[in-house]
Amino acid sequence: MKVLLIGSGGREHALAWKLAQSPLMTEFYAAPGNPGIAEHARLVSLKVEDHEAVAAFCAQKAIDFVVVGPEAPLVAGLADRLRADGLKVFGPSAAAAQLEGSKGFTKDICARYNIPTGAYQRFNNAPKAKAYIRAQGAPIVVKADGLAAGKGVTVAMTVEEALAAVDDCFEGAFGAAGAEVVIEAYLDGEEASFFCLCDGRNALPLATAQDHKRVGEGDTGVNTGGMGAYSPAPVMTAEMIERTMKEIIEPTICGMAESGYPFSGVFFAGLMITAKGPELIEYNVRFGDPECQVLMMRLKSDLLPLLLAAAEGTLDKVTAEWSDDPALTVVMASKGYPGSYEKNTPILSLPEAGDGAKVFHAGTSLRDGELVATGGRVLNVTATGQTVGEAQSRAYALLDKVEWENGFWRRDIGWRAIERERA
Ligand code: AMP
Ligand code: GLY
Our mutation pick for probing the ligand 2 site, out of 289, 295, 329, counting the most ligand atoms within 8 A of Cβ, is 289
Closest to 358 (Cα-Cα) out of 386, 387, 388, 391? 391
> pLDDT exceeding 70 applies to what percent of the chain?
99
| Residue-wise pLDDT tens digits, 191-214 | 999 999 999 999 999 999 999 999
| Residue-wise pLDDT tens digits, 343-391 | 999 999 999 888 899 999 999 999 999 999 999 999 999 999 999 999 9
> Is the Cβ atom of 140 under 6 angstroms away from ligand 1?
no
> Is the Cβ atom of 150 under 6 angstroms away from ligand 1?
yes
| Residue-wise pLDDT tens digits, 101-129 | 888 899 899 999 999 999 888 899 899 99
At residue 171, the pLDDT reads 85
Our mutation pick for probing the ligand 2 site, out of 291, 296, 413, counting the most ligand atoms within 8 A of Cβ, is 291
Task: Pick the ligand that lies closest to the CA of residue 143.
Answer: 1
> Is the Cβ atom of 127 under 6 angstroms away from ligand 1?
no
295 by DSSP, 3-state: which? Answer: helix
> Is the Cβ atom of 57 under 6 angstroms away from ligand 1?
no
Closest to 309 (Cα-Cα) out of 423, 148, 175, 200? 200
pLDDT band at 180; cut points 50, 70, 90: confident
Task: Pick the ligand that lies closest to the CA of residue 191.
Answer: 1
Q: In the predicted model, what is the mean pLDDT of the chain?
A: 95
Q: What is the DSSP string of 79-148?
A: HHHHHHTT-EEES--TTTTHHHH-HHHHHHHHHHTT--B--EEEESSHHHHHHHHHHH-SSEEEEESS--
Please tell me the distance between residue 368's alpha carbon and the centre of ligand 2 in angstroms: 32
Q: Which of 86-100, 141-155, 364-378 has the lowest mean pLDDT?
A: 141-155
> Is the Cβ atom of 71 under 6 angstroms away from ligand 1?
no
b/e map 264-300, b = 16+ CB within 10 Å: bbbbbbbbbbeeebbbbbbbbbbbbbbbbbbbbbbbe
> Is the Cβ atom of 329 under 6 angstroms away from ligand 2?
no
At residue 276, the pLDDT reads 95
Residue 266 clears pLDDT 70, i.e. is over it: yes
| Residue-wise pLDDT tens digits, 395-417 | 999 999 999 999 999 999 999 99
| Residue-wise pLDDT tens digits, 26-85 | 999 999 999 999 999 999 999 999 999 999 999 999 999 999 999 999 999 999 999 999
Q: Which of 37-46, 176-185, 294-303, 308-317 has the lowest mean pLDDT?
A: 176-185
Residue whose Cα lies nearest atom 5 of ligand 2: it is 288
Please tell me the distance between residue 95's alpha carbon and the centre of ligand 1 in angstroms: 23
At residue 403, the pLDDT reads 97
Residue 147 clears pLDDT 80, i.e. is over it: no
Task: Pick the ligand that lies closest to the CA of residue 192.
Answer: 1
Question: What span, in angstroms and rounded, lies between the C-alpha atoms of 292 and 19?
Answer: 13
Q: Where does 291-400 show beta strands of DSSP type E?
A: 327-334, 345-346, 357-361, 364-367, 370-373, 377-384
> Is the Cβ atom of 289 under 6 angstroms away from ligand 2?
yes
Please tell me the distance between residue 136's alpha carbon and the centre of ligand 1 in angstroms: 18
Structural domains of the chain, ranges and CATH numbers in brackets = 2-93 (3.40.50.20), 125-179 (3.30.1490.20), 190-317 (3.30.470.20), 327-422 (3.90.600.10)
At residue 153, the pLDDT reads 87
> Is the Cβ atom of 284 under 6 angstroms away from ligand 2?
yes
> Is the Cβ atom of 100 under 6 angstroms away from ligand 1?
no
Helix (H) or strand (E) holding 199: strand 190-199
Task: Pick the ligand that lies closest to the CA of residue 226.
Answer: 2
> pLDDT exceeding 90 applies to what percent of the chain?
88
Cα-only R_g, the chain:
21
pLDDT band at 174; cut points 50, 70, 90: confident
> Is the Cβ atom of 100 under 6 angstroms away from ligand 2?
no
Our mutation pick for probing the ligand 2 site, out of 284, 287, 295, counting the most ligand atoms within 8 A of Cβ, is 284
At residue 178, the pLDDT reads 65
Residue 150 clears pLDDT 70, i.e. is over it: no
Tell me if 359 sits within 8 A of 350, measured CB to CB: yes
At residue 149, the pLDDT reads 66
Average the pLDDT over 245-267 and give the result.
97
Please tell me the distance between residue 192's alpha carbon and the centre of ligand 2 in angstroms: 11
Our mutation pick for probing the ligand 1 site, out of 155, 174, 224, 273, counting the most ligand atoms within 8 A of Cβ, is 155
At residue 55, the pLDDT reads 98
